Chains A and B, each alone.
Chain A
Amino acid sequence: MQAFSYHPVGELVRFENVGLRYGVGAETLSDVSFSIEPQSFQFLTGASGTGKTTLLRLIMQALKPTRGMIALFGQDTSQLKKDGLTALRRRMGIVFQDFRLLDHLTTFENVALPLKVQGREEATYRAEVTELLNWVGLGDLMHATPAVLSGGEKQRASIARALVAQPEILLADEPTGNVDPSLARRLLRLFVEMNRSGTAILIATHDLSLMDQIDGARRLVLADRRLHVESGHD
């Protein structure tokens, strides 16, 4: 029990001996321990079905671990109340594999959503959202709804939405899974730029060629229900 009490404030994410099982079956994840530092860049990889999305959902607090300790921004999540959870989620940006854009909203409204739910008036964020949309190349499509966007445009809108509130960490689940290789490279460059501006990045992917494009990125490899950390290599 004492071992769980240490979670340095500087770490954005810390897992200690985390295990998760669905129902009464075998554990999906066992003894997972790792941490994510501010401004770091890492990939979460592993074969399909090894638990990459599950691990991301544990970080997002969409799932509770069966055992072990998860600390986010220095706070033990087992002690979190609902309001505290909301405050932590506001410090994260999430890019979903299936985009999860709201179909009845325009691109601008989708991207601005994290600011809107914080109670900000549109006049206070219109300029910054427009600038962000231009940065991801969607300036001309800000009034379009997701129905008329291509897969790549939806993914860029999803990334812009994850970034708009200037999160400290960005979690991306297979962000290049639905796009062609050239667009995948462009999206990866976006992530690198974000990282340079101070956001820690965790990208879940099974695309080795994608990971090879970033020198020095740490790799968190899931295999046999366990996580192995490979430090960044040149």
Chain B
Amino acid sequence: MTDIRDQHSSNIVRFWKAIPLFRRDPLVAADAVTDRALISVIAIMTFLAAMTAGAAEFSASTTSRWQVMMASEVTVQLKPQGSRPIDADLVRATDILRGTPGVTSVQTYSREDSAKLLEPWLGSVSAMEGLPIPRLIAVRIDTEQPPDLLALGKAVAAAAPGASLDDHRNWTKRLGRISTALMVASALALVLVLAATGLAIVFATRGAMAGNREIIEVLHFIGADDRYIAAQFQRHFTVLGIRGGLIGGLIALFLLISLRIIGSPSGATVDANGLSMMVVPGSEIMAATFGVILLVGLVAGIASRITVHRTIGRLA
């Protein structure tokens, strides 16, 4: 029974040792203080990078949702034309809209509804009594088979002088430009954060190699080649990079998911509709965060490899 238990625990130890993150570094002497400092720096960098990636993902997905929403709706505005009866124009415009293929629903705003929309600028509805109020028709369209909006606009304007059709194209374009600018800024920030991580690894690797100069000399004398020694240092710093990346990335992930939970419609303390728009869907956060952690590990590996290969010749 004891033998079986020993066998089992030794299998578990072997399993964990097979994973570089849990295996003791064989040759590069771990410097607890330096390693902890480096892990902390990488964790902070990864946190910032993951939040940046989350923000970029948020801006892209939110803009995309908004663009879809705006592309599926157009607005017809009827401005009062002197003594011309606006209600009759409204009925004619509504009939044309309802009879157009590709239009899925038409919602006419009454005079009171339109006046309510103007309340923030003109005061209470009762104060607007006697003022010419423009009327609105909200039209939802089939985005798969949309109607010819140019022809529809002309038809509505012909039937109801003073009517204009707004397909929100200008807003959509501006949103697209803002989204692109945000994505570029986020990508730049991500690159800078990764570059800073790489530089931290470069300096740490140089320091470690200088500190392990005697070990490197002994390794050369007992028959280790540069590739072997470089691989030891590269593995050491890649593991440190992934450890730091996991800490920073998981904290960022926790924070982003917490925001999502707080912002979800079931959240009781915040305006659910408002905040839920400001958070990224969970699977996209996960993908972005783990992508950043992998990138940090990759940057750590590449930075240490380049540094080791450049330094080892001088030390040899």
Contact = CB atoms under 8 A, between A and B. Distances in A.
A104 B224 contact: no
Interface string B194-234: 00000000000000000000110111111111101000000
Interface stretch (B25-33, B89-97, B115-123, B135-143): B25-33
Given A103-B29, A109-B26, 18 more contacts: A62-B221, A82-B226, A83-B225, A86-B223, A89-B222, A89-B223, A94-B221, A100-B217, A102-B29, A105-B27, A113-B219, A113-B222, A114-B222, A114-B223, A117-B219, A117-B222, A118-B223, A165-B223
Contact of A90 (B29, B30, B214, B223): B223
Residue from the set B27, B29, B219 with the largest chain A CB neighbour count within 10 Å: B27
A161 B222 contact: yes
A60 interface: yes
Interface residues of B, number: 17
Residue from the set B219, B220, B221, B224 with the largest chain A CB neighbour count within 10 Å: B221
Given A89-B220, A102-B215, A102-B218, A116 B26 contact: yes
B234 to A, nearest CB: 15
A117 B223 contact: yes
Contacts of A96: 218
18 contacts: A60-B221, A62-B217, A62-B221, A82-B225, A86-B223, A86-B224, A100-B214, A102-B218, A104-B30, A105-B26, A105-B27, A109-B26, A117-B219, A117-B223, A117-B225, A117-B228, A118-B223, A165-B223
Contacts of B228: 117, 119
A86 B226 CA distance: 9
Contact of A89 (B26, B214, B215, B221): B221
Contacts of A83: 225
Contacts of B215: 102
Nearest to A114: B222
A198 B132 CA distance: 113
A160 to B, nearest CB: 12
Nearest 9 Cβ contacts at the A-B interface: A90-B223, A117-B224, A86-B225, A114-B222, A104-B29, A100-B218, A89-B223, A94-B221, A117-B228
